[in-house]
Each structure stands twice: as C-alpha cells, then as structure tokens.
Amino acid sequence: MRVKLTFMSAAILLGACGQISEPEAQYYIFENAEIITMNPSQPSASVLVIKNDKIHSLRNDIDIPVDELTPGKVTRIDLKGKTILPGIIDSHVHVRELGMDAVKANLVGVENVEQIVDRLKTHYPVPQKGEWLIGQGWDEGMFASIGYPDRAALDDAFPDNPIKLESLHGFGGFYNGAALKLAGIDKTTAEPEVGNILRRENGEPTGVMLTLAQDLVDQHVPEPNQSQLEQAILVGLSTMAAAGVTSIHEAGMTPQDVSAFKALAARQELPIRVYGMLDGNDAPLMKDWFAKGPLDDPKDFLDIRGVKVFYDGSLGSRTALMAAPYSDEPDKANPTERITPEAVLSLGERSAKYGFQMAVHAIGDEGNNRTLGLYEKALATQPPQDHRWRIEHAQIVLPDFYKRQADLGVLASMQSSHAVGDSKWAEDRVGPDRIRYAYAWQTILDNGGRLLMNSDLPGEPWTPMETLYFAVNRKPLNAAPEAEGWYMKQALSVEEALKAMTIENAYGAFQDDTLGSLESGKWADFIILDANPIRVAPHRLKEINISQTWVAGRKVKP
C-alpha cells in the first residue's frame, strides 16, 4: 500500500509540474555591433540575442517578434559599433603557474646574474633565514647562446636562503649553494638518467640544472597546499578572463591540480571553462584515470580528457631531439627523452582504448617524427575513431611530417609567441635548411592539417591580442610598423589566426558543437572589443582592448 501511495503522489506531482509555466528567461540583445561569428554559414551579423546561458539567435535587424522572447526579461545593449568575437580559447596554458607567478620574483628580460640578484633583492628585501626564494622567467634559450650563469653571485648575496629560479619555458632551473646543499648535490653527485647538472671546471655544480635534473632540488621545495593552489588557479583564470579568454586547456594536471580544479568546479567558482590534460608522465595518476575514464561536464566548465606527455626538451636549451646534430655548438647539446618511447606507446594504446586524447610535447624534428610513429602504432590497436590527438609545439619537423600529420588526423598545437621569441637564435640552432621546416603554420594548412594556436603561458606574452599579433606579424611587440617579420611566408591572416584561436581550439577539446563560434544553441561565450581585428592595420592588433568578457551568458569582466 505504501508503494501505491508513493507512486500516486509522484504522479500527482508530475502532473502539477506539467501545469507550471516555464520560469522567466533572461534575454540580452546586443545591438549595433560588428559580429564576427566564425561560422561559415553566417560569418557576420549586427545583433546578438542571448537567452540565459546560450545563444538564441544572430540577426542583421532589431525587429525581433515579441513572442520569441516571452516569457522573459529583456535587456537591450547598444554597442555603438564595437566588435563581438567568440570567446578566445587558449588551448595550451599553465594557469596555476600564472597564478603562482604573482608571488615569485619576475626574471623576464634579465641578461646576467647581476640583474637576477637585483630583482631578487627587490622582491625579497628582508627574507627570513632559511626561507626559499623563488623566481621565474630567465630565458634559457638566450643564456644557452651567451653562456649559462654561475651561482657565485647568488651565494654571495643570499648565503642563508635557498634559491630556486625557474626558466622562461621550464627546461632549466638555477639554484644557489644553499639549495644545492639542502639537496645534497656537490661535485660527487652523479648525472641523473635524464637531464644534466652543469658544472664548473673543478666539477662543482654551477647551479644550473637542465630538464629532469631539476627534480633533484625541486623535491626539497615546500609544495603549496590545496587552498594555495585553488587561489593561484582563481588568480590565473580571472587574469585570463580579463584579457578575453573564456576557456583554457590546462596542460599537464598533477593529482594536486586535479583536486583543486574539481573543488572549484564543485563550488561553481570557475570563472571560465577548463579542459584538463593530465600529466601523462605520472604513471600512478594515469593508471587511476584509465580505470575510471574521462570527466565530461554537461555544462563544459570542467572536462578532463587529455593526456599531456612531456617527451623531448626544448630547442633553446639544445635538449630537443634532433635527427642530426645541432648546427651551433653540437658538443653543448643534451638531447633528452623525458619518457621512454615504450611508455608513450603504452599511454597511447590505453588512451585509444579508454577514450582519452593524447597530447605529446615534441619540439625537435626527431621528437616529432617518433611521436607520429608512436601515434600510428597506438591508433592501429583500435578500430578507427575520432581521436583528435595532438602534438604540442611541433616546432621543428622533417619534410614528411605535414602529410603524415594530415593523413593521421593529428592536430598541431602551436604557439605564435614561440616563433617570435625563438627567432633570435632558432636558425643558429638548426641552420638555414632545417629552419624552413620550423614554426611552419602555413605549410601545415597547405597540406590539409589542422592548426590550434595558443600561448603556452606564462612563458611568453600571452594575451589573445598579443597571440593574434604574433601570428599575423611574426615580429616582436616593439618592432617598428614597417619592420619585416620573421619568415613571413608562414604568417597567418587575421581570419586564419582567429579560426585557430576559436573554433579550431574548440575542436581540439571535442567541444566544437557547443563552443568556438557564435551560433544558435551554443554556449553564450563571447568578448566585446573596441576595434574590429579584421579592419585594423596588422601592427595595431596588439592595441585592441577587451571591454567585456561573457561566459555562459554572464559578464565575468566589469
């Protein structure tokens, strides 16, 4: 009898619910705008209508029938000619590091150890004895060209404080004597299996550690707790939202990162969307995730499906895997495999089986060649699938890379800032022949490959308008308007670059059905700019300002 009563009560409630009218909707009508939709079927419009968290319609008139917007509250916004773009998706970032960098000494642009010491003294004027001093941003590529620094000046200035100085792209660490002593590193310490301890003539360490050698010291640096991680993530995401980014792909989530992102998502505190790529070099983490499968959020605020693998090193530090010796000072090169090919193949086979997306860091031409070969083997173990696997960076490649990439359906995930930042020394590293197959965005497109464009922040200037500027101009931000860019045959048009920063980046996260373009039914993620990037002179792209950022129909930037 109790079962019958419960069933009847449920039926009455369901019937009553059917008679309740739909709650009042919130509509926004953005009028008098220049709208770039990134939708080939309707490339432009002048009116954008938002209903709650999704796009209702795009029009070229403001005579919208009232019955289309009822029941609902309607707010009209006259943009007075401003431009609307789909929200920018930055498809390769380290947002936790961006937030953490706010408490580190900024070493971007330093050219010698004396400048490093000055920056540290400014940031840490009266450090407590034994306190770790952390800095970030010295350019390992530039120092590899002029000579890596020595710790003597650090030791003199800070004898009682261990120091950890992270390089611009993460492939080198610079430590003082106090840090090396804590880690037990001296002239007798053996070279690690992967990575290098740079040494003085007498065998003592200089303080510079390349690639995985950094772990010998870093394991002794206190880790931030979850509350600190959450705060760093929020600072990073909010900073990006202010610059016009509405979604990110976080490259290399640790177990601690996953916990922090999931906690923020559970409390609905993520200001923009996050697509997670797990740290594929962490074997226990991947075993756990392969057992439980990807995380797919119906609201797309936290999806975790990618497997980010660090394979080789960097071109600047001469640790990237090259098929032939480096052209400049090959005796100083230390080509590095941070993970074995067998381990990468195993990750690929399990990713193909359990529905994960591989995203391998490969910079050297041999690193990219091996990665494609491992992808081919791993994907062959399963029936054909819409895998959308990626190569992160794809900087220097062999001539046959482009066709193989396109035929296999692999996405090239690249950074426009890297071509500009590396242009000072990249040709020295690889010579005039191999440089023709480097940072080759147009060659990828010409061969039918798909290109994702992103920032890899916080290592280089990263705001969307800077990323766009670099992609179109291939020259520094402070270059004269008439200055010629670096290998301009590989530059993108504004339209090509915007496509690579919006709908293609959404495709790279299996989200192109809900994000990346302005179309009816997609999430209402968009930005408002004070100028149309298609109309301004290319050298002025960096000057465009973002006035508003909207995610899921809500303004996240005042």
How many angstroms separate the CA atoms of 421 and 5, rounded? 72
- Residue 100 has a pLDDT of 87
275: its two tokens: 């697509």
Contact 250, 94 (CB under 8 A): yes
Write out pLDDT tens, residues 149-166: 999 999 999 999 999 999
> What is the b/e burial string over 114-141, where b = at least 16 CB atoms within 10 angstroms of the residue's CB?
eebbebbeebbeebeeeebbbbbbbbbb
The mean per-residue pLDDT over the stretch 299-319 comes to 96
Contact 501, 89 (CB under 8 A): yes
The CA-atom distances, in angstroms, between 324 and each of 247, 328, 383, 434 are 38, 12, 35, 10
Write out pLDDT tens, residues 117-136: 999 999 999 999 999 999 99
Name the average pLDDT for the chain: 93
- Residue 223 has a pLDDT of 86
| Residue for token pair 């895998």 | 387
Write out pLDDT tens, residues 346-380: 999 999 999 999 999 999 999 999 999 999 999 99
| Residue for token pair 């009209």 | 76
- Residue 15 has a pLDDT of 37
What is the DSSP secondary-structure string of 498-516? Answer: HHHHTHHHHHTTT-TTTSS
Edge to edge, the sheet with strand 105-106 lists 105-106, 133-138, 163-167, 172-175, 205-210, 196-199
How many angstroms separate the CA atoms of 239 and 114, rounded? 31
How many angstroms separate the CA atoms of 15 and 18, rounded? 5
Contact 40, 504 (CB under 8 A): no
How many angstroms separate the CA atoms of 307 and 289, rounded? 10
The mean per-residue pLDDT over the stretch 442-453 comes to 98
Structural domains present in the chain: 2-81 (2.30.40), 89-93+224-555 (3.20.20.140), 95-218 (3.10.310.70)
Find the range with the poorest average confidence among 185-194, 301-310, 412-421.
Answer: 185-194
Write out pLDDT tens, residues 36-57: 999 999 999 999 999 999 999 9
The mean per-residue pLDDT over the stretch 443-465 comes to 96
Write out pLDDT tens, residues 238-251: 999 999 999 999 99
DSSP label of 87: P
39: its two tokens: 């939708």
> What is the b/e burial string over 307-331, where b = at least 16 CB atoms within 10 angstroms of the residue's CB?
bbbbbbbbbbbbbbbbeeebbbeee
Contact 308, 279 (CB under 8 A): yes
392: its two tokens: 């992160």
DSSP label of 202: T
What percent of the chain has pLDDT above 90?
88
Write out pLDDT tens, residues 458-508: 988 999 999 999 999 999 999 999 999 999 999 999 999 999 999 999 999
Q: Where are the alpha helices (DSSP H) in 399-463?
A: 401-408, 416-422, 426-434, 441-446
How many angstroms separate the CA atoms of 253 and 55, rounded? 31
> What is the b/e burial string over 429-441, where b = at least 16 CB atoms within 10 angstroms of the residue's CB?
bbeeebbebbbbb
The helix or strand, by DSSP H or E, that contains position 466, with its residue range, turns out to be helix 464-473
Edge to edge, the sheet with strand 546-551 lists 44-45, 34-36, 83-86, 526-529, 546-551, 554-555
Strands (E), 94-204: 105-106, 133-138, 163-167, 172-175, 196-199
| Sign of CA pseudo-dihedral 227, 248, 414, 538 | negative
How many angstroms separate the CA atoms of 341 and 557, rounded? 44
Write out pLDDT tens, residues 509-545: 999 999 999 999 999 999 999 999 999 999 999 999 9
What angle separates helix 283-292 from helix 341-354, to the nearest 10 degrees?
20
Contact 316, 139 (CB under 8 A): yes
How many angstroms separate the CA atoms of 426 and 478, rounded? 20
CB under 8 Å to 545, separation ≥6 — which residues? 529, 530, 531
Q: Name the β-bridge partners of 105.
A: 135
* Cα atoms in the 13 Å half-sphere on the side-chain side of 375: 30
Given pLDDT bands bounded at 50, 70 and 90, which one contains residue 226? very high
Q: Classify 474 as helix, strand or coil.
A: coil
Given pLDDT bands bounded at 50, 70 and 90, which one contains residue 12? very low
- Residue 89 has a pLDDT of 98
How many angstroms separate the CA atoms of 468 and 85, rounded? 13
Write out pLDDT tens, residues 327-350: 999 999 999 999 999 999 999 999
Q: pTM score, two decimals? A: 0.85
- Residue 77 has a pLDDT of 95
